[in-house]
Copies of this chain bind each other. A is one copy, B any other.
Amino acid sequence: MASQPPPFPSNQSFVHLDSLSLNMLLSPDRLMPHLLAYLPTLGPSIYSVPGLFYKLPSPSSTTTTSSTAAESSTTTSPNSLSLKTCCSTNPSFPYLSVRMKTEFPSNSSFLPPLPGMHCVVSLFHSLTGVPLASLNGASLAYLRLSALSGLASDLLSLPSSTTLLIIGSCEYAHLVTAHRTARPSINRIIVYNPNFSKAQDFVCELCLREPESSTVIFDYAKDLDQVIGMADIVCCAAYRTTNVPIVKGKLLKAGAHLDLVGSLTYEMKECDDDVFSRGRAFVEEIAMNEAGKFVDFAGTLTELAGGKMQGRKTYDDVTLFKAVGSARFDLLVAQFAYESHIKLSNFALV
């Protein structure tokens, strides 16, 4: 889809793609082939420019009228706004995105509670500056994460994989779909969550979505260490809150694929170092200025998708994929959502 030049922007009106639209347009089975095809060719043409991070004043400083209100409250308020711009001027991919993310940790104390993080992505035509769309950034990021996770599974996990273990549950239905898209052979899905009732709820939700003809078995576990050795694919979508690793590498089955999508920083590996000694690890993207730190990683997903790096070398290798929430790949996903929407709109007009 990206190989066709986008419609000349004067013919299109600005659109807003909300969570519902994005979930319809970006299902893993559509987004994964798109990313596989275009990450290697278009990924490198996307560059990001230095972003901005503002501490926002808390409500108590409302009487401040000077233009230095932001500065004076930086030490007290945990609220923030960050802006990140990515751009490609490749004629077959002429897009620019501005990601606006707000973080308000105390939102959970509202009744009803509000999410602590919100995000909007604005999309522009990068060769004319014409605004094209705004997109729900939280949904966009989650769908991108699911598709990258599924793509890594497709490139790294054993083709014979049958058992998927999900650590974390909650709102990760798309992650399950992505891994099942990569490995249709999956016939058992186990959910683990330290909060047992959340695991139960998630299993119920997955069962309800399943067609009657399905023979997939859904299960939940009380003890992670007991079930981890059963899984061909371990998807860790839990946020690591302490220094204790969630996944113990020595418990993984030979040939297992470990997918780390919960903590989007390089430092938080969610697993111990035993994993790295047992096989091959790949990362979504390596930040230029931090590349030196990541000797443990064999390469990036882009290199893997482009065939520049070999993934698994032996049947017994433990493979690992670490997601880091790259803003650059948001642009690739936003473009796909936008062009899919335009195609659908034009189709509806015929």
Q: Measuring CB to CB, which residues of chain A are less than 8 angstroms from any residue of chain B?
A: 9-10, 13-16, 18, 44-45, 47-49, 52, 54, 56-59, 61-62, 64-70, 79, 81, 83, 85, 87-91, 94, 96, 98, 100, 102-104, 107, 110, 112, 114, 117-120, 122, 124, 126-131, 134, 136, 288
Contact = CB atoms under 8 A, between A and B. Distances in A.
A122 B68 CA distance: 22
B129 A104 contact: yes
A38 to B, nearest CB: 14
A104 B125 CA distance: 11
Nearest to A45: B65
Contact of A104 (B10, B102, B103, B128): B128
Contacts of A69: 47, 87, 89
Contact of A96 (B14, B15, B56, B127): B56
A61 B48 contact: no
- How many identical chains are in the complex? 2
Contact of A128 (B107, B126, B136): B107
Contacts of A96: 56, 81, 102
Contacts of A100: 98, 122, 124, 131
Counting chain B CB atoms within 10 Å of each CB, the highest count among A18, A62, A104 belongs to: A62
Contact of A91 (B48, B59, B107, B131): B59
Contacts of A14: 16, 18, 120, 134, 136
Interface residues of chain A: helix, strand, loop or mixed (majority): mixed
16 contacts: A9-B114, A14-B136, A45-B65, A47-B66, A56-B96, A56-B129, A57-B87, A58-B89, A59-B89, A59-B127, A102-B130, A107-B128, A107-B129, A114-B128, A119-B131, A120-B122
A85 B81 contact: yes
A89 B56 contact: yes
A64 to B, nearest CB: 8
Nearest to A20: B13
Nearest to A69: B47
Contacts of A129: 56, 79, 81, 102-104, 107, 117-118
Contacts of A64: 45, 47
A342 to B, nearest CB: 16
A79 B104 CA distance: 34
Contact of A130 (B9, B56, B58, B118): B118
Contact of A83 (B44, B61, B83, B103): B83
Contacts of A130: 102, 114, 118
A280 to B, nearest CB: 25
Contacts of A127: 59, 104
Contacts of A288: 67
Given A54-B49, A56-B87, A288-B67, A131 B120 contact: yes
Contacts of A85: 52, 54, 81, 83
A281 B59 CA distance: 36
Contact of A16 (B16, B58, B102, B107): B16
